[in-house]
Structure 1
Amino acid sequence: MHKPVIRPARPDEYDAIAQLWMESWCSTGLETPSDKLLVFLKERVPREVAGGWSLYVADDGGRLAAMLAINVPRLYLDQLMIAPSHQGHSLGRRLLAFTRALLPDEIWLRCAEGNEKAWRWYEREGFVLEKEEADAVHGRMMKYYRWKQADRPPGD
């Protein structure tokens, strides 16, 4: 497998991004793929872009390997989803490094409490748990994390 290219998403890719999102999310075991979920995500992608998402994909020779949604003004990493076929190949670390280049001082995110693989990974990557609370929409317990760049020495 060669190295996928991280680039801005195109509107004509939104349906494929929703499909990747569903496959990645469902690979956690927290939900089952369904037409209802796919329709929801297909409707959500353009709505979130209109609401402030900067949306990126990891393009693996024309095949989408991952999606990354960042709300830069809010310092928020909203979605980092990797296609099951591309999981375990350090693509998540590349996407997180890309995010840190856009948000070099501070990043916030939330992660489903049941997605232990993800939140443990974020903790290993230096994110600190700030709070836990139920999501108002679906009731799922969420863990809220923050990463803050360490103070830099003078002259850096």
Structure 2
Amino acid sequence: MHHPVIRPARPDEYDAIARLWMESWCSTGLERPSDTLLSLLKERVPREMEGGWSLYVADDGGQLAAMLAINVPLLYLDQLMIAPSHQGRSLGRRLLAFTRELLPDEVWLRCAEGNGKAWRWYEREGFVLEKKQADPLHGRIMKYYRWKRGDRAADS
């Protein structure tokens, strides 16, 4: 069976990555696709790259299947977004395993409380809820999770 290849993103892919991000995010039902949202994400990708992101894509024969944004110095998994056409194929699990290769001892992330499918999945993958807090930019309640090697729940 063919699996998408996880590789570093190229700058010429940033607009396509922003579109994938929007489509994945909107597939949660928390927001609707719009030109405004797409423009914001297109502006955000290069800004986040300058701010420390390591950005990867899952390349499925030239089609972007997923994006993965990690801030390695901060031990932070910022974005793990799967294109709707590739959801349900264990690609998220592969990207999370890749993340744990880069950050083998500890990973933290945050997830919108309204995105139950995502936070329930992170909990099954050994992440432990540390706190809930409103995001000052959009007011959405965010759940903060951490995974540490050696934690009983994290290594189960």
TM-score by length of 1: 0.96
1:63-121, Cα deviation, whole Å (9 max, x unpaired): 00000000000000000000000000000000000000000000000000000000000
Which amino acid is the alignment partner of residue 20 of structure 2? L
1:117-147, Cα deviation, whole Å (9 max, x unpaired): 0000000000000000000100000000000
Which amino acid is the alignment partner of residue 17 of structure 1? I
Tell me what 1:69 maps to. Answer: 69
The percent identity for this pair of structures is 86
Q: For the residues of structure 1 that align with 2:115 and 2:35, how far apart are their CA atoms?
A: 22
Shift of 1:2: 2.1
Tell me what 1:98 maps to. Answer: 98
Q: Please, what is the CA RMSD of the aligned residues?
A: 0.8
Q: For the residues of structure 2 that align with 1:59 and 1:32, how far apart are their CA atoms?
A: 25
Tell me what 1:127 maps to. Answer: 127
Shift of 1:54: 0.1
Aligned to 1:67, the other structure's residue is in SS state strand
Q: For the residues of structure 1 that align with 2:17 and 2:138, how far apart are their CA atoms?
A: 22
Tell me what 1:9 maps to. Answer: 9
Number of corresponding residues: 151
Which amino acid is the alignment partner of residue 84 of structure 1? P
1:5-61, Cα deviation, whole Å (9 max, x unpaired): 000000000000000000000000000000000000000000000000000000000
Tell me what 2:137 maps to. Answer: 137
Q: How does 1:7-156 map to 2 (within 5 A)?
A: 7-150=7-150
TM-score by length of 2: 0.96
* Structure 2: stretches of 5+ with no match in the other structure: 152-156
Which amino acid is the alignment partner of residue 35 of structure 1? D
* Structure 1: stretches of 5+ with no match in the other structure: 152-156
